[in-house]
């Protein structure tokens, strides 16, 4: 068990090192003078020089790199040009908003995606199955911002049930949070729901074909018990690995969803940073979001090892 | 790319539908025709093909079927609903014909999709085959690959376009950089399996060089999973490009893309909902068509992948 934990953490270290190196290198790819790109055409020579100083662009490459890693160790990711605040500080305020939204989307995905996948598998080749799979196909094909716009049009503009956008923090007013987060979470979740329904269906079908299922049925156990206890628990194991992918998709999707619904999360922060050429913010935000996802994947690996004893044996 | 092992991929023999193989073996058909025959019997594949054809025809014939300049402003024809005053899809806030804009948008989406797919096919195969075949490069290449895949796809694409600037070319570049590691991983996985096959060992024993083994014995057999991946990739590329231009990071207006038409239409959601709905539906048709094509190709070419997807 501890071997698995250690191994996934050790495996993540080179990934994070290279991720941070790529993130560092990215800002050096700006064609021409980054200071000029940030400051715009109206900047004076002094302003440009000041900016170069602030960003450390005048120093040799190796020194810049050493400073970047030195900063990372101390939790210093630089300062946002647009907001004048510490990148880490801003991120720590914005990331929870995105995580809350992603978790809401994850719950919707798990509940609706799993149930529809299981039902489709149990009713294989019936109308129910086909209908579910058509819905799943639509789910993975509708762009989330299009779905978001259609929902705004239907639920906010025509029916007036939900606000068109904005955000109320969960701890201030849970009902308000639900009202502002349901449409974004749904538009985020649809893609993952479709994916999960398809995976659950095929995994369930695979498991239901196994001999031990037939044995369980043959010894007279009720179908419901066999499905839930024998089939589902085993089908869930491969499905856990998908959770990491689902969270990654939610965070990616949040970029456009948050801009669409004016939710002050990571996605909106990064979009604004990108549009305003706030490179330290882009760099820091990208790195922290990726680091967060790498951690999620470590947890998924560990959960996988806990759920499936075979993994523990094979790896140790 | 011919010979009996060209198309039927690295799959376990017990996956193959037996009667079909016997039948085919008896008739001695070429594997290409056999695959084509199976594809044409796959109903969802045909549906995907139909949906993609609509977009493909629109994109290829844009110059012919949408002769109105998609960027021509005509303020007195603003906000015409679809069908009104001879505008098939209506007009937008500048009186530009949405028919023209969406059809030209199709051309751009296809261009970007094809470019990303082509770059992935070339570089994904190159990196994946190198890592899988020459194992001493494997560790280094795959570490970088894993790191690239750790970034959330859209976020990395956004960061790259932020650095390079918004343009069609940079969008293609950013999306390729994001997706090539994923393609490389798939190619590598099949190459690793194939290089241990007995017939490859036999080729080595017979004195074949690395290049010959890769080109004639390994890569043709690694094609099936790659083709499946590329068809899904086309869908992601079109979708991601739309997302980038919806955020203002794709092709620069007034060049019409489905994403930037929808971004502009957002303000007129209530007065003119068709501005977002029509490109949205076009985008959906494309992505769904490509997903169905991908599913069909996967079922026919590589049944082992069915569970993983």
The reported pLDDT for the residue numbered B119 is 97
User: Bridge partners of B91?
Assistant: B97
The reported pLDDT for the residue numbered B306 is 46
Token digits of residue A154? 């239907």
Question: How many CB pairs lie under 8 A apart between chains A and B?
Answer: 135
**Shortest distance, CA B204 to any CA of chain A (angstroms):** 32
Instruction: Check CB contact under 8 Å for B307 and A26.
Output: no
Token digits of residue A86? 């510490």
Instruction: Check CB contact under 8 Å for B163 and A203.
Output: no
Instruction: Check CB contact under 8 Å for A143 and B283.
Output: yes
How far is it, in rounded angstroms, from Cα B133 to Cα B217? 12
Instruction: Check CB contact under 8 Å for B143 and A18.
Output: yes
Tens of pLDDT along B207-232?
888 889 999 889 988 888 899 899 99
**Shortest distance, CA B34 to any CA of chain A (angstroms):** 26
Q: How far is CA B13 from the centre of its chain?
A: 28
Confidence bin at B20 (pLDDT 50/70/90): low
Longest C-alpha distance within chain A, in Å?
85
What DSSP string runs through B261-281? HHHHHGGGTTT-THHHHHHHH
How far is it, in rounded angstroms, from Cα B106 to Cα B288? 15
How many angstroms separate the Cα of B286 from the Cα of each of B133, B153, B258, B290?
35, 20, 11, 6
How far is it, in rounded angstroms, from Cα A208 to Cα A230? 9
Closest-approach residue (CA) in chain B for A142: B284
Average pLDDT over residues A58-70: 82
Of A271, A99, A116, the residue nearest A188 (C-alpha): A99
DSSP B7: S
How many angstroms separate the Cα of A60 from the Cα of each of A63, A70, A76, A217, A284?
5, 15, 20, 71, 21
Neighbours of A195 (CB within 10 A): 21
Confidence bin at B308 (pLDDT 50/70/90): very low
Token digits of residue B8? 């039927």
For helices B31-41 and B274-301, angle between their N-to-C axes, nearest 10 degrees:
130
Instruction: Check CB contact under 8 Å for B159 and A152.
Output: no
Average pLDDT over residues B220-247: 91
Confidence bin at B26 (pLDDT 50/70/90): low
How far is it, in rounded angstroms, from Cα B186 to Cα B134? 16
Tens of pLDDT along A277-290?
888 888 888 999 89
Residue with tokens 């300049």: B69
Instruction: Check CB contact under 8 Å for A149 and B280.
Output: yes
Tens of pLDDT along B164-176?
888 899 999 999 9
Residue B7 has pLDDT above 60, yes or no: no
Half-sphere exposure of A287 (CA within 13 A, CB side): 28
How far is it, in rounded angstroms, from Cα A187 to Cα A193? 10
Of B237, B224, B244, the residue nearest B290 (C-alpha): B237
Residue B2 has pLDDT above 60, yes or no: no
The reported pLDDT for the residue numbered A310 is 73
Whether the CB-CB separation of A254 and A100 falls below 8 Å is answered with: no
Closest-approach residue (CA) in chain B for A152: B269
**Shortest distance, CA A311 to any CA of chain B (angstroms):** 18
Q: Taking all residues of chain A, what is their mean pLDDT, rounded to a whole number?
A: 85
Average pLDDT over residues B19-43: 71
Q: Taking all residues of chain B, what is their mean pLDDT, rounded to a whole number?
A: 83
Residue B3 has pLDDT above 60, yes or no: no
For chain A, what's the residue count?
A: 316
What pTM does this model have? 0.85
Query: Please, which residues have CB within 8 angstroms of residue B99's CB and are 6 or more apart in sequence?
Result: B66, B68, B87, B88, B89
The reported pLDDT for the residue numbered B12 is 43
The reported pLDDT for the residue numbered B25 is 54
Burial of B54 (0-12, 13-18, 19+ CB in 10 A): middle
Of B185, B115, B119, the residue nearest B148 (C-alpha): B185
Whether the CB-CB separation of B175 and B237 falls below 8 Å is answered with: yes
The mean-pLDDT minimum among A85-89, B61-65, B200-204, B304-308 falls in B304-308
The reported pLDDT for the residue numbered A316 is 46
Residue with tokens 């390729």: B176
Residue B134 has pLDDT above 60, yes or no: yes
Token digits of residue A24? 């560092």
């Amino acid at each position: 068990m501890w071997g698995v934990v250690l191994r996934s953490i050790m495996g993540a270290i080179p990934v994070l090192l290279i991720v941070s190196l790529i993130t560092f290198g990215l800002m050096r790819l700006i064609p021409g003078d980054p200071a000029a790109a940030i400051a715009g055409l109206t900047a004076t020579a002094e302003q440009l020089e000041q900016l170069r100083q602030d960003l450390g662009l005048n120093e040799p490459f190796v020194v810049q790199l050493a400073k970047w890693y030195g900063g990372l160790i101390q939790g210093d990711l630089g300062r946002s040009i647009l907001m004048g605040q510490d990148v880490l500080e801003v991120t720590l305020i914005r990331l929870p908003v995105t995580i809350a939204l992603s978790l809401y989307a994850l719950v919707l995905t798990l509940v609706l995606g799993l149930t529809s996948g299981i039902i489709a598998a149990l009713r294989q080749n019936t109308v129910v199955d086909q209908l579910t799979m058509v819905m799943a196909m639509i789910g993975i094909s509708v762009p989330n911002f299009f779905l978001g716009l259609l929902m705004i049009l239907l639920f906010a503009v025509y029916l007036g049930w939900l606000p068109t956008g904005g955000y109320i923090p969960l701890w201030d007013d849970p009902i308000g949070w639900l009202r502002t987060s349901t449409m974004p979470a749904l538009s985020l979740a649809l893609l993952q729901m479709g994916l999960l329904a398809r995976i659950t269906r095929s995994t369930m079908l695979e498991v239901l074909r196994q001999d031990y299922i037939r044995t369980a049925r043959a010894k007279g156990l009720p179908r419901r018990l066999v499905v839930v206890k024998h089939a589902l628990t085993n089908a869930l194991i491969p499905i856990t690995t998908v959770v990491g992918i689902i969270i990654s998709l939610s965070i990616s999707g949040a970029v456009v969803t948050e801009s669409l619904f004016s939710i002050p999360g990571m996605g909106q922060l990064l979009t604004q940073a990108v549009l305003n050429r706030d490179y330290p913010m882009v760099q820091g935000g990208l790195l922290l979001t990726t680091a967060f996802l790498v951690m999620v994947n470590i947890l998924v690996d560990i959960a996988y090892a806990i759920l499936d004893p075979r993994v523990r044996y094979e790896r140790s | 790319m011919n010979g009996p092992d060209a198309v039927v991929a690295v799959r376990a023999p017990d996956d193959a539908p037996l009667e079909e193989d016997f039948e085919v073996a008896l008739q001695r058909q070429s594997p290409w025709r056999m695959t084509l025959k199976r594809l044409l019997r796959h109903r969802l594949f045909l549906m995907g093909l139909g949906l993609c054809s609509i977009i493909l025809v629109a994109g290829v014939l844009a110059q012919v079927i949408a002769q109105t300049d998609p960027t021509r402003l005509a303020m007195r024809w603003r906000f015409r609903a679809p069908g009104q005053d001879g505008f098939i899809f209506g007009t937008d806030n500048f009186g530009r014909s949405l028919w023209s804009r969406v059809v030209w948008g199709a051309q751009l989406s296809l261009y970007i999709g094809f470019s990303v797919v082509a770059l992935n096919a070339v570089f994904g195969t190159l990196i994946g085959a190198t890592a899988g075949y020459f194992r001493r490069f494997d560790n280094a290449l795959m570490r970088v690959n894993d790191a690239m895949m750790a970034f959330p796809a859209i976020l990395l694409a956004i960061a790259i376009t932020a650095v390079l600037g918004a343009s069609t070319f940079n969008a293609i570049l950013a999306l390729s950089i994001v997706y090539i590691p994923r393609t490389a991983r798939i190619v590598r996985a099949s190459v690793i399996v194939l290089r241990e096959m007995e017939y490859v060992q036999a080729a080595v024993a017979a004195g074949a060089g690395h290049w010959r083994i890769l080109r004639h014995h390994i890569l043709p057999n690694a094609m099936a999973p790659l083709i499946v991946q590329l068809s899904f990739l086309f869908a992601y590329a079109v979708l991601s490009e739309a997302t980038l231009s919806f955020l203002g990071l794709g092709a620069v207006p007034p060049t019409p893309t489905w994403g930037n038409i929808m971004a502009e239409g957002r303000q007129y959601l209530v007065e003119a909902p068709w501005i977002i709905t029509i490109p949205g539906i076009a985008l959906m048709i494309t992505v769904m068509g490509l997903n169905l094509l991908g599913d069909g190709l996967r079922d026919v070419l590589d049944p082992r992948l069915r569970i993983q997807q």
